[in-house]
Structure 1
Amino acid sequence: MATALFRSEHTHDFTALSLKPDHQNRPLRVDGRGGLILENFHPLAPTVQDFLVTIAEPISRPTFLHEYRLTTHSLYAAVSVGLNSNDIITTLDRFSKNTMPPNVARYIQHCGKSYGMVKMVLKDNKYFLETADPDILQMLLQDAKVRACRVQGTAEITTTATKADTVAIAGTSIAGGIREAEGLASHGRGRHSEYEPRTGAETLRLLDDDDDDDDDERGVIHALQIMDDKVGAVAERCLALHYPVLEEYDFRNDHANANLEIDLTPGTQIRPFQEKSLTKMFGSGRAMSGIIVLPCGAGKTLVGVTAACTIKKGVVVLATSNMSAIQWKNEFIKWSNINPEDIALFSSDNKSVFTGTTGIIITTYSMITNTRERAYQSAKMMQFLRDREWGLMLLDEVHVVPAQMFRRVIGSIKAHSKLGLTATLLREDDKIEDLNFLTGPKLYEANWMELSQQGFIAKVQCAEVWCSMPTEFYQQYLETGPRTRLLFCVMNPTKFQACQYLIRYHESRGDKIIVFSDNVYALEAYAKKLMKPFLYGGTSNAERQLVLDYFRNSPDCSTLFLSKIGDTSLDLPEATCLIQISAQYGSRRQEAQRLGRILRAKRRNEDGFNAFFYSLVSKDTVEMVYSSKRQAFLVDQGYAFKVISQLKGMDKMSNLAFGTAQARSELLQKILAEVDTKSWKEEEARERAGLLADGNMFYGPDGKPLRKGARRVAGVLKDLSRGQDMAYIERNKSANKSMKTKNSSRHKFFKSIARENERRRNAE
């Protein structure tokens, strides 16, 4: 649809764009392909930037020029928060340096006519497809795929819609005033922040001009019931028919589900950008399903807790690991006044339930999507989850949801609204687009550099350190296969020395350091050589928690080595320096998530950078190619990578590892022996098998996700019978010999054959 509309005039030749006479006073340029270029140094840039985040996808946001693009899904998200086509076109034309290309205006009009016309609503534990236009409902029913998902034998339902009023979001100044007026929280009054941004509603009539919609909201609603396990399929089909399904929850008029006694603690007030993101969710007076994208360390968890405090209904939280689930529970207790007994954990080693009529259940994706036969207690918990209506489903690290196994999450748990939280809405495959019908559109995406300048996240200096490889190592690197080459890259002795130098330098400054390595063999080798603690997939949860607490609280532990397990959901606010010695090929997502480990605002307020990110790369190897790919997302966010070809003073450092030719030769022989045994690959395979259960989040060298499907391998028949670790031993040889001499035990048939053979031999 979009391709056809953008194939007309002004498609590639931008010289045809006609500048307005006062173009120097306007900050925006609109091209014929839906691209938007914003001059971020213009005085009107802050106002226009807030508007563009609402209607378009941010592509690149460095210091001076920001690039956005109009897409069907971004316009869908704009309509979902109350905008209409005329508002969007008028505002773009008002701030554009050039006249609006007609094909772009037609495209916006086309999207505005269909978006928001169809809604998916949960009532009485049943899903209904609703629309105010009966003709649209009949058109959808004529589609075979939609018709097949309808509950057979049910008639069309007609109801009257309720009017939506303004929502007071918990943790804001408005909510604080309401609580004070009601006498519920006399000392919970909020204050306006000097950084509170103007929203599109205040400056451009973009979020509050809902008066024209009042008549529609009081109109007749036509609905039909959809099968529970077909909700995702219906949403996907409606999207293909250009009628995206809108999911919203009128929680204040929901009297069927019990209210949850929860509110933010009186001293808690959310930050302006957090309030802005939640305004996109609750701007229509109802809870809109969708995705909020905030940098790591910017308070995504608090946004989720605030959404739960605003809706005040039952909540299901889906995390990526047991450790993350425990952190979510602690955050709910920290930021809200909820009774801890109203929070339940559903994990492999904890299956508690809340005591009241409603509450919060925190679980993991793998627990919900498990298809194997469950234990009695787990099956009972799953039935409890399925039989209830939940007001809110919080999806932590929502980018893992598009994996095929996690599509079952949406069908397993019935929730009125879904809120996805992530820092990196990235996947190297195309499945990230599935989020538009699995969870909802992207409601808000924060500007990383803007938050850094305002002090909400750390100011990070990013650097790529080039490590030359000794001749004998490089020779072996050239002669080995692709997988083994990566082992030589990470075990490069020069890289080892650079890591040692940076650790010693930053420990002397009082920094807390995290060293990341995807290669488990290298992780263990580095950590043991430098006598530092390390965690990987094979570490037990109890040991992980012990080591993490030691790193957080002890001045004697300044450096921690981590494998992939540290990429997400680890709360290490004290970390100020990150060194990456091995990564996951060209994964942009992993690079951004690892940077997020040090993005939390620091207690140290010295001028300039207060956090450091080093990526150690073996020079003239495939690592340099992967490194440039990984950095693409962070560069688009405005980060600049400084290239360091030589660390000053490293060669003069005492006790430098592998400083002699003999030490390097011994290291090379050890690596070659390890390559022959292939035990390092087996260790990686064991870790990957455990981590893939968290959502198919890891990618291969081709940029495509690793799958858990079948692999063709050479083997023997005993592997199929699980007899590869067994052996047959002949323990009583004398008994076998005696059996040969006992003719009486033989059957008559075999005796006759033996006699016949004997007769023939004698005849010859």
Structure 2
Amino acid sequence: MNTEATGSCITRSDRTVLLECAHPGYEEARAVLGGFAELVKSPPAYHTYRITPLSLWNAAAGGQNAASVLGQLHRLSRWGVPSGLEEEIELLMSRYGSLQLCMNESDPGQVTLSADTAGLLDELEGFRELKELGLVRAGECRSHCPKGNRGLLKQELTRLGYPVLDYAGYRDGQELRLAWKTAGGQEAGGGFGLRDYQQEAVRRFQGIAGEGGSGVVVLPCGAGKTMVGMGVLEKLQCETLILTSSTTSVEQWREELLQRTTLGPADVGRYTGEVREVRPVTVATYQMLTHRNSKGGAFVHMNLFNERNWGLIIYDEVHLLPAPVFRATADIQATRRLGLTATLVREDGREGDVFSLIGPRCYELPWKVLEKQGWIAAVDCIELVIPMPPDLRRRYIYAGAKEQFRLAAGNPVKAQAAARIAAAHPAARVLVIGQYLDQLEALAAELGAPLITGRTPQKERSALYAAFNEGRLPLLIVSKVANFAVNLPDASVAIEVSGAFGSRQEEAQRLGRILRPKPGENKAYFYTLVTGDSREQEFALRRRMFLTEQGYEYGVRLLEPQESREGAVQRWE
């Protein structure tokens, strides 16, 4: 036990760990804790991490065990690790790998749940939920379950605290021959220049001796998650369904597939509100899958999962997976499943369902590691505190809690601040990102810039994105439709004027819009505008929590008043 009061952390019996931010070992401890704990609070003095069953199981999936976790925790802890917590970590991590799901050789309609000990299956026999799924004891260390309940069984066992390693196998799907193209468009005989970490992500997904086939790859925006997906597709050589977050993303996936592989236009279909093509590789949106003609009606397009003999399903932006798609995914556990995301954070708390139904985290690379290697841009994060005009303050004082946040988020002084920031970066391509349409429309009018919202036709969106990428449009205002999977490689300044309460994933995705490598010093700037002395500041602290865990620090500045054109009065509105 560490008896000297020198460690950077205070470890408590309730599975929380306090990390002292001013400690010289802060950076090292933050990187270590991120491997087996989740950041839950990030005030200036001490950051609070929580060790959860899921964080430990993901650590185990990455090769850690109880001894390695406890060794690191002892090394970091100022006053040691409570013995009760040691026992709890050992118990939770011992459960990872103690249950395995395999095909039942004698009955193809069943899967077999095997346990390391008979006592473990004795425990499971006490759960009514498992009996309702048809789990029946078939021997000292094995039980049987109907094959159709394979996903639901894993989901329920994870919820009860018993993760399962799924070795029940995957169907190959319909064969589809493809290869990488070289720069000249010819077939290439190798890795097409996949970066080392992308190749490693593909290898980790395939698992030992190619036995893998379900898992999540976590990489920051701009790090080439699409390339990882195409790398898995090229290795498996099978028909594939790709699910993503928007029609813009559908077009980008299709463009990448046609540009970088030998697949032709007849091989790659789009399944959106505008066109419905089911081809050997089909790219669809989550919105289409969850569309129904009436509230409570059937999901019209959910049968896309069974339209072809898919050998692989790729869930792009897997942290956005809607509940109905989880239910469908539970039914297709015999199909290989790859999740791609910049953050496993889900604001609905369903990370456990991603773990059980898509698979554990099979590969992750910290954002700052990629930054140091030059694969993503270095970003200065600045929180600009905006004053509240007197008339707005009067309305704010008498408003309810929800309305107070809305008033603070829509502070009209933010338009002045955004204009001043844009003027301070005259050579940059600037994105202004916000949540509320009335605020964005006012900003568009004041800044003289075009606005993209959910109502903007896809053709017009594509034209505006192209103009921005080509440098003909230096300033673009976007709503939350640009949070995900929009390829704007030359954007180097993002100004966040409002957001969805305390959404950590949204903050990460918005910063991700400017992460692609930049020429020269490879530098970008992320400004978040927050009204001072308001509820918006509370939510801003939560929003940036994931990025804090990744090593980003926010400099806080106050917006100074600016004289009017007449020079007579200070101008805040």
Bin of the TM-score, shorter chain as denominator length? 0.7 to 0.9
The reply to whether residue 625 of structure 1 matches residue 538 of structure 2 is: yes
CA distance in 1, matches of 2:142, 2:270: 39
Paired letter, 1:366: Q
Q: For residues 243 and 647 of structure 1, what CA distance do their matches in structure 2 show?
A: 55
1:738-757 equivalence runs, <5 A = none
**Residues 80, 246 of structure 1: 8 Å contact kept:** no
Report the Cα distance in structure 2 between the residues aligned to 1:501 and 1:91, rounded to whole angstroms: 46
Name which of structure 1's ranges 467-476 and 294-303 shifts more when overlaid on structure 2. Answer: 467-476
Q: In 2, Cα distance between the equivalents of 1:263 and 1:655? A: 66
Q: What's the counterpart of residue 212 of structure 2?
A: 287
> What is the aligned counterpart of 2:316 among 362, 380, 396?
396
* Aligned: 1:440 with 2:359: yes
Query: Against the structure 1 CA distance between its residues 129 and 453, is the aligned structure 2 distance closer, same or farther, given a 3 Å change threshold?
Result: same
What residue is the counterpart of 2:554 in the other structure?
641
Q: TM-score, normalised by structure 1?
A: 0.62
Q: Which residue of 2 is the match for residue 732 of structure 1?
A: none
Structure 2 contact 268–281 (Cα < 8 Å) conserved: yes
1:556 partner SS: coil
CA contact (8 A) 1:128 1:226 kept: yes
Match of 2:515 in 1: 599
SS of the residue 2:97 aligns to: coil
Q: Hey, what's the Cα distance between the residues in 2 that align with 1:490 and 1:448?
A: 28
Distance 1:486 1:30 in 2: 34
3-state DSSP of counterpart to 2:537: helix
2:417–2:559 Cα contact (<8 Å) kept = no
Counterpart residue number, 1:365: 286
Q: Match for residue 439 of structure 2?
A: 522
Q: Comparing both chains, which one has the higher relative contact order based on Cα–Cα distances under 8 Å and sequence gaps of 6 or more?
A: 2
CA distance in 2, matches of 1:304, 1:340: 18
Counterpart contact for 1:535–1:563, Cα < 8 Å: yes
Residue 461 (structure 1) aligned with residue 380 (structure 2): yes
**Which stretch shows the higher mean deviation, 479-488 or 341-350?**
479-488
Q: Residue 440 of structure 1 aligns to which amino acid in structure 2?
A: G
Residue 490 of structure 2 aligns with which residue?
574
Residue identity opposite 2:422 in structure 1: I
Aligned residue runs from structure 1 range 206-285, under 5 A: 224-226=144-146, 228=148, 230-248=149-167, 257-265=173-181, 266=190, 268-285=192-209
> Residue 240 of structure 2 corresponds to which residue in structure 1?
315
Q: CA deviation at 1:404?
A: 3.1
Deviations 1:513-546 (A, max 9, x none): 1111211012112212322111111111122112
Contact 1:298 1:457 in 2 (8 A): yes
What are the superposed Cα offsets for residues 251-298 of structure 1, whole Å, 9 maximum, x if unpaired? 6xx6x6443323444463333443454454344332152322222222
Residues 36, 51 of structure 2: 8 Å contact kept: yes
**Counterpart Cα distance in 2 of 1:548 and 1:337:** 27
Of residues 76, 98, 108, the one that matches 2:57 is 76
**Secondary structure of the structure 1 residue equivalent to 2:491:** coil
Aligned match of 1:349 = 274
SS at 2:315 equivalent? strand
- Per the alignment, residue 425 of structure 1 pairs with 344
1:348 is paired with a residue whose SS is coil
Decide whether aligned partners of structure 1 residues 584 and 144 sit closer, same or farther in structure 2, where only a CA change above 3 A counts. Answer: closer
1:326 aligns with 2:251: yes
Query: SS of the residue aligned with 1:390?
Result: coil
Q: Which amino acid aligns with 1:145?
A: E
Q: Distance in 2 between matches of 1:96 and 1:54?
A: 16
For residue 598 of structure 1, report the CA deviation from its aligned partner.
0.7
2:525 counterpart residue number: 612
Change (3 A) 1:489 1:126: same
CA pair 361-119 structure 1, distance change in 2 beyond 3 A: farther
CA positional deviation for 1:558: 0.4
Q: Is the 8 A contact 1:27 1:45 kept in 2?
A: no
After superposition, give the CA deviation of every residue in 1:102-121 in whole Å (9 maximum; x if it has no partner): 54553344335432233446
Task: Verify the 8 A CA contact 2:150 2:331 in the aligned structure 1.
Answer: no
State the Cα deviation string for residues 113-140 of structure 1 (Å, max 9, x = none): 4322334468999673442669466875
In structure 2, how many angstroms separate the alpha carbons of the residues matched to 1:150 and 1:453? 51
Q: What is the identity, as a one-letter code, of the residue corresponding to 1:360?
A: V
Query: Kindly, what percent of the aligned residue pairs are identical?
Result: 28
Letter in 2 for 1:77: N
**Stretch deviating more after TM superposition (479-488 or 111-120):** 479-488
Q: Which runs of 5+ in 1 are unaligned?
A: 1-16, 159-219, 665-764
> Which position in structure 2 is the counterpart of 1:114?
95
1:298-323 residue CA offsets vs partner (Å, 9 max, x unmatched): 22222222222233333221111222
Which residue pairs with 2:186 in the alignment? none
Q: Pick one of 452, 455, 459 that aligns with 1:538.
A: 455
State the SS of the aligned residue for 1:341. coil
Amino acid aligned to 1:320: S
Q: In the aligned structure 2, how far is the partner of 1:60 from the partner of 1:89?
A: 22
For 1:576, what is the secondary structure of its paired residue? strand
Query: Whose helix fraction is larger, Structure 1's or Structure 2's?
Result: 1
Residue pair 1:389, 1:416 contacting (<8 A) in 2 also:
no
Does the CA-based 8 Å contact 2:41-2:545 persist in structure 1?
no
Correspondence for 1:300: 225
Structure 1 or 2: more strand by fraction? 2
> How far, CA to CA, are the matches of 1:82 and 1:634 in structure 2?
24
**Cα separation, 1, equivalents of 2:24 and 2:207:** 29
* Match of residue 131 from structure 1: 114
1:195 is matched with which residue? none
Which secondary structure does the structure 2 equivalent of 1:298 belong to?
Answer: coil
Q: Which residue number in structure 2 is paired with residue 561 of structure 1?
A: 477
Tell me the residue number matched to 1:146: 130
Alpha carbons of structure 1 residues 278 and 92: separation in structure 2 relative to 1, 3 Å: farther
Report how far residue 563 of structure 1 moved: 0.9
- Deviation of 1:478 after TM superposition, in Å, equals 3.8
Using the TM superposition, give the Cα deviation of residue 394 of structure 1 relative to its aligned residue in structure 2, in angstroms: 1.6
TM-score by length of 2: 0.80
**How far does the alpha carbon of each residue in 1:418-440 deviate from its partner, in whole angstroms, 9 at most, with x for none?**
22222232234433333232323
Secondary structure at 2:157 match in 1: helix
Across the aligned residues of Structure 1 and Structure 2, the Cα RMSD in angstroms comes to 4.5
- Structure 2 CA distance for partners of 1:133 and 1:122, relative to 1, 3 Å: same
Secondary structure in 1 matching 2:287 = helix
Greater radius of gyration (CA): 1
Q: How big is each residue's C-alpha offset from its partner over 1:394-417, in whole Å with a ceiling of 9 and x where there is no partner?
A: 21221222x433322314545433
SS at match of 2:54: helix
Q: How does 1:166-177 map to 2 (within 5 A)?
A: none
Q: What letter corresponds to residue 512 of structure 1 in structure 2? A: R
Q: Which amino acid aligns with 2:177?
A: E
The answer to whether the 8 A contact 1:317-1:393 is kept is yes
Q: Distance in 2 between matches of 1:89 and 1:623?
A: 38
Contact 1:588 1:633 in 2 (8 A): yes
